[in-house]
Amino acid sequence: MVTISNSEICVTVAKKGAEIRSITRGGVEYIWGRNPAFWSSCAPIMFPICGGLRNGKYELDGKSYDMPKHGFAKISEFEVEKKTDTSVTFLLRDSEATREIYPFAFAFRVTYEIDGASLRVTYDAQNCGDKTMYCTFGAHEAYACPEGIEAYELIFPEEETLDAYALNGDLLTDYTKRIVNNSKHLVLDDRHFVLDALVFRGVKSNSVTLASKVSDRRVKVEFDGFDYLVLWHKHTAPYLCIEPWCGIQDVAGSSPVLSEKEGIHAISAGEHFARTHIITVG
């Protein structure tokens, strides 16, 4: 575990998966406690894909490769590249094992930086090879809702009309359900998550705040530059995942070719693809 802190907040991150394990402020914990009765993770990072692939496979240069849901970063051991009292950068490089399922030379960095009561989280994928690399990434932080999610609401800075795309297993469908209709508020209802997650395209706002209706507990997530927003929790569990994604799951008719998938990013040799989301607690 690696800990960074200032006078406002304290953040603990595991080297495995570069996964946030704790964000506390004033003795209050804001990250889900990984109770295995519901879900034994709390903030896995998705790279080099988000969600699931059709048949768990993709094609590149005429060859088929297996890829687990959300990719392999979440189960990989990162090294600490640099650290200060208030920041830390984790690094994952390609290896013989990764090249078996993802044949690219890469450096994937995750940087955590504290500023007041905010935590800046930057994902940076670098193409270290001599051919175009295809990837995407996304966040999956679970925020504790001790009273249950129905004691909370989500507040957007802009009025939104949001249709959630339903999932069929790991794949996205064309079926949608209107969740927000010309409002800044999404009232959380456990029934929304009986089947799985809420997947949104076309969110106008670049932030959302998880606000308790019975206490002053709040978490604001800013996600400028991310194309998709996913909400998920295990049915009846006391947490909510707010997930900014740059990619998305396959649909039933998705092309198997990696470069043709929705949300995939092409990175030229030597170049970077990076995005930052910001978590503010209080």
**Is residue 232 domain-resident?**
no
**Cα angle 232-31-7, degrees, rounded to a multiple of 5:** 145
* Same domain flag for 115 and 156: no
* Same domain flag for 123 and 263: yes
Longest distance between any two alpha carbons in the chain, whole Å:
56
Strands (E) located in 128-201: 133-135, 141-144, 152-168, 171-187, 198-201
Give tens-digit pLDDT for 100-146: 999 999 999 999 999 999 999 999 999 999 999 999 999 999 999 99
CATH of the domain at 47: 2.70.98.10
- The secondary element (H helix, E strand) that includes residue 100 is helix 96-101
The pTM of this model reads 0.96
Number of domains in the chain: 2
* Same domain flag for 138 and 164: no
* Same domain flag for 125 and 218: no
**Is residue 277 domain-resident?**
yes
Res. 244: pLDDT tops 80: yes
pLDDT at 223: 98
pLDDT at 22: 98
Structure tokens that stand for 115 in this block: 């500023």
* Same domain flag for 94 and 213: no
Residue 233 and residue 142: Cα distance in Å, rounded? 8
Q: Span 226-243, mean pLDDT? A: 95
Residue 69 and residue 52: Cα distance in Å, rounded? 4
* Same domain flag for 23 and 73: yes
* Same domain flag for 15 and 116: yes
Res. 192: pLDDT tops 80: yes
**Is residue 37 domain-resident?**
yes
**Is residue 229 domain-resident?**
no
Contact 205, 223 (CB under 8 A): no
Residue 245 and residue 238: Cα distance in Å, rounded? 22
* Same domain flag for 8 and 41: yes
Nearest to 116 by CA among 11, 31, 242, 13: 11
* Same domain flag for 45 and 88: yes
> How confident is residue 217, by pLDDT bands cut at 50, 70 and 90?
very high
Res. 252: pLDDT tops 90: no
* Same domain flag for 49 and 183: no
Strand 106-115 vs strand 87-93: parallel, antiparallel, or unpaired?
A: antiparallel
Residue 235 and residue 195: Cα distance in Å, rounded? 8
- The secondary element (H helix, E strand) that includes residue 231 is strand 228-232
Res. 159: pLDDT tops 90: yes
Contact 277, 226 (CB under 8 A): yes
Which residues constitute the domain of residue 196?
149-224
